[in-house]
Structure 1
Amino acid sequence: MNHTKDDWISQRAYSLWEAEGRPEGRGGGHWAQAASEFERLERTRASVDGSELVAKLRAAARTMRAAQDSSPAPDASPVTKTSVRKLGAGG
């Protein structure tokens, strides 16, 4: 069943009202809370086929590769007794 934004908010507000014991005069507060929840859901909703998530993951991977490519290469010099003594670990 396809619900509109107002349908979803109305049903959620009613649900909140019932959960609180059907208090008098709280309809506006329940409606505002439901509308806020709907907006949060809309902001975090993924596309039906996941294409938005795939695009974000690919962009993140490109950024990580670029950062790795621009970082200096680790020192590949071998560890020797002399280098260990310089560090104060041997004798």
Structure 2
Amino acid sequence: MIVRIMGEGQVQIADGDLDVLNALDTELERAIEADDETIFRTKLHALLDKVRHVGKALPDDSLEASELILPPADASIEEVREMLGDSGLIPG
């Protein structure tokens, strides 16, 4: 799966890493539902850090279509709330 972190670039994520990313996504959703800015910020950074860690960075000139777009680390809780789909930021 090709993932774009807004403002940073793209990474390729193996299917085997989706379960751990979905768990972090669920924690992020809970923080948004609770409208808890502190926990939201922690969970958003944890999710993005994990994507960066497990993902293989694609070259800046790569023209791969992103299958998933994640917010930047400085996104507001409201901005991320608007990006949430029925299954969070990460499908599955």
Report the TM-score, using the length of structure 1 for normalisation: 0.25
* Higher strand content, 1 or 2: 2
Q: Specify the structure having the higher radius of gyration (Cα).
A: 1
- Higher normalized contact order (CA 8 Å, seq sep 6+, divided by chain length): 2
